[in-house]
Structure 1
């Protein structure tokens, strides 16, 4: 239950008192938790060219960052303190996806990904801050966290990481397996491994106004159709042929006044934009797909689950699937809304009206039969 994940605090209270306001330390948020992958599996992912990873070391020469794929030999050092980060673990490991979606008390449109960091004794990535909310869930081992609420975030010049030059800690804790620390945006923090350890970071999307504005204008340009062409039948002889006249500026400004957008346009943009998978994501269609009749029978027997990389979002009666708006039958809306929230439909609740939409997802690799996981 979510209240257990939050240390007995209800989601409502957490959102009202802590979310984007102040840190929260939760002892035994997930009792007995040691991670969803072992070290060998984590290193294998870090060496995969399709997986985003970073290897971070701090030596006498300063900080060093190596982007993936990592070399296996680099992950066998034990004398030097180092950290390897694997981004988007939820895209590759079902258990990681399930862990990420335990945080669905925050809208899925805000969930970003699950990152895991492995560190040798003394390893870490230095004092830094994130521009987004983050939950730091301890896997195996221990990590010491120091945090500070400071407005000054002057960065270390020339460092390959955004490190805070004058970190001032106000609190310090050692997290054991299953403990979790929530930090609001821009809260300074530094984690240092005590022996070997892993930490699972649940991060949230926080696009900047510039990013949203730029993406919205691109989206709008693809959908706006302005009528007419520039014309100047009253053109007069200019004194200087290189001058852009005030009359021309005024006339073009009038043409651009025809650009319009409203709340519905913004909502439609957000549905497309927030459900768009990351550029590194790809989907695999089934090699030997079932026929519609076979698929319907299999769903009725086993249920259906969204692919970890799939995003299905809702606004009013509109559904957005991996960057596109889909138009399922009205009778399927309730089933697809449950699927979007829970990310799976069991055999008992898979309504017949939704089966055509589920079949299209299946053919595109956006979802699979539950039996495929066995």
Structure 2
């Protein structure tokens, strides 16, 4: 997997071309012959699925099953883990086999957290797209359909890794739906649209890729044999998110805090006309009073927190980190942990310190180490010796900084 250009592997396009021609606007179908990488068996395979469900102790919600358009109860494919694993919802391989034999689709959820090749792909793709990514796998027995026609509230890349599956794609009934606009709220419209001629009807073979912006209706049926595909879900940050953050900034405006009138029916549209106009005017005035630079900085920080909550940096080995921290030497090379969002700046909690802000904590560093820490957070690899030499630090100071950053999971050995 190309760590620097996962989009190239998935689409055969440059990131710039994909952004202008397809991102969030138009489906894309790519055949295996037109893509680099030779398919996706390295990401997941039937043997890997067998290992996951029989040897890795998966629990709900990391898997679920569906049949005839309905989700199956967890009790139909889980049981107690037995001695030493006193949990009630561990996957039971024999029960799962019976479900598959009866035509159920197996959904492996959150593979971006449980299966190393998928973890790597999801992390690299999230960094390239700039939006959070999740990955599920769907395995459907021959001649079966896992889910009724529906749309997702996130963009998807479908990667066929085994078998064949027929897909039917229809235009949206809700353009660019948000997370609080699920397809179940539009069942009649979805059913009516799904009865029309599809925009795309195609069979995905191993190595094929289908990209669908959120809102596009889709359904899929396995053909002739077990079919498996990965679905990469991209959860975009939207303008609606920015708008909600702007509203947060002006919600304390005194005109917006005014009470509505008493002694009237507030459910009557005629009663609300005046106050709705006053509210709209107050919003306009409050937003116009905001300082653009302050707004951008504040909202950028909010987006950063949102992304930190929705993404995870590259995995690190706690034991390897501990060992590296115990033997820091001048020749060691370290690099910012890939995908870690952090900022350096502003005073710390104590005089003479500077704060390094991480997703769920902050570190106070001695002010004399600020320039060296700033060098680390650029993301470029650096040796301990160079870190000290470039920023006028004693060798011991550079080693102490690197040791702490290793123990805090900020840097990793390069």
Instruction: Name the CA shift for 1:314/1:293 in 2 (closer, same or farther; >3 Å).
Output: closer
Residue from 201, 206, 222 that aligns with 1:177: 206
Residue 247 (structure 1) aligns with: none
Matches within 5 A, 1:128-147: 128-147=150-169
Measured after TM superposition, the shift of residue 18 of structure 1 is 0.9
Instruction: Name the CA shift for 1:202/1:156 in 2 (closer, same or farther; >3 Å).
Output: closer
Measured after TM superposition, the shift of residue 270 of structure 1 is 1.9
Residue from 81, 85, 95 that aligns with 2:117: 95
Report whether the alignment pairs 1:322 with 2:359: yes
1:107-138: per-residue Cα shift (whole Å, max 9, x none)?
33x03222222222214222111122111111
Residue 313 (structure 1) aligns with: 341
Distance of 1:208 and 1:111 partners within structure 2: 12
Measured after TM superposition, the shift of residue 149 of structure 1 is 1.1
Residue 107 (structure 2) aligns with: 85
User: What count of residue pairs does the alignment treat as equivalent?
Assistant: 318
Q: SS state of the match for residue 51, structure 2?
A: helix
Residue 379 (structure 2) aligns with: 338
Q: Is the 8 A contact 1:271 1:320 kept in 2?
A: no
Q: Is the 8 A contact 2:24 2:214 kept in 1?
A: yes
Residue 72 (structure 1) aligns with: 93
Residue 350 (structure 2) aligns with: none
Distance of 1:316 and 1:16 partners within structure 2: 33
Q: SS state of the match for residue 191, structure 2?
A: coil
Instruction: Name the CA shift for 1:304/1:56 in 2 (closer, same or farther; >3 Å).
Output: farther
Extract unaligned runs of 5+ from structure 1.
225-252, 340-344
Q: Is the 8 A contact 2:321 2:406 kept in 1?
A: no
Measured after TM superposition, the shift of residue 193 of structure 1 is 1.9
Matches within 5 A, 1:292-307: 292-296=325-329, 299-300=332-333, 306=337
Q: SS state of the match for residue 145, structure 1?
A: strand
Residue 39 (structure 1) aligns with: 49
Residue from 118, 140, 144 that aligns with 1:119: 140
Greater displacement, 95-104 / 142-151:
95-104
Distance of 1:73 and 1:208 partners within structure 2: 43
Distance of 1:292 and 1:79 partners within structure 2: 51
Residue 49 (structure 1) aligns with: 59
Measured after TM superposition, the shift of residue 271 of structure 1 is 1.8
Measured after TM superposition, the shift of residue 20 of structure 1 is 1.2
Q: SS state of the match for residue 154, structure 2?
A: coil
Q: Is the 8 A contact 1:112 1:203 kept in 2?
A: yes
Residue from 295, 299, 303 that aligns with 1:262: 295
Residue 197 (structure 1) aligns with: 227
Matches within 5 A, 1:232-251: none
Q: SS state of the match for residue 41, structure 2?
A: coil
Q: SS state of the match for residue 185, structure 1?
A: coil
Measured after TM superposition, the shift of residue 35 of structure 1 is 4.7
Measured after TM superposition, the shift of residue 157 of structure 1 is 8.1
1:265-321: per-residue Cα shift (whole Å, max 9, x none)?
212222222112579xx9985499337351457954xx6684xxx851367989764
Distance of 1:298 and 1:276 partners within structure 2: 35
Greater displacement, 130-139 / 72-81:
72-81
Instruction: Name the CA shift for 1:165/1:25 in 2 (closer, same or farther; >3 Å).
Output: same
Instruction: Name the CA shift for 1:188/1:217 in 2 (closer, same or farther; >3 Å).
Output: same
Q: Is the 8 A contact 2:344 2:357 kept in 1?
A: no
Distance of 1:26 and 1:119 partners within structure 2: 21
Greater displacement, 63-72 / 206-215:
206-215
Q: Is the 8 A contact 1:52 1:69 kept in 2?
A: no
Q: Is the 8 A contact 2:39 2:161 kept in 1?
A: no
Residue 363 (structure 1) aligns with: 407
Tell me which protein shows more helix as a share of its residues: 2
What TM-score, normalized to structure 2?
Answer: 0.61
Distance of 1:349 and 1:191 partners within structure 2: 53
Measured after TM superposition, the shift of residue 209 of structure 1 is 6.8
